[in-house]
Amino acid sequence: MGFTVGAHSARHMRRILRMLLARWELASLAEGAELALTELVANVVRHVPGRGCAVVILLRPRGLRVEVTDDSPAPPRPSRDPAPLGEGGRGLLLVEAVTDRWGTYGTPTGKTVWFECDRPKPRRTAPRTRP
């Protein structure tokens, strides 16, 4: 889906993501995935002239993959030392904390930032013993 994003766009994208995760029986991934998507969209709003992006939400065998592509060639840079009272600089640190993997790659016109959240591992039950 292609968008020109603004201050309230992430809310609508979270709703779409949550709906897809429920349909795919992956609702347990919603909290982290929604936060990561919000941060990537916020980066487009803050740093990409024109605020245009494309969002791809994919169901993969391993779990969920989300990609946000924009027309800015500037690579994202996680801040390793954000200002204690500053409003920014923590977005990619949050993405790293709430996803299993994330990364970026260049495109002919800009870049794609992606993240993945793995399916929860099946719970193992202890073998039953006979008395």
**The pTM is what?**
0.85
Is the distance from CB of 56 to CB of 13 less than 8 angstroms? no
Give the 3-state secondary structure of residue 96. Answer: helix
63-93: per-residue pLDDT in tens? 999 999 999 998 887 666 655 544 555 788 8
pLDDT at 68: 96
pLDDT at 71: 93
Residue 92 CA to residue 102 CA, distance in Å, equals 9
Residue 79 CA to residue 93 CA, distance in Å, equals 7
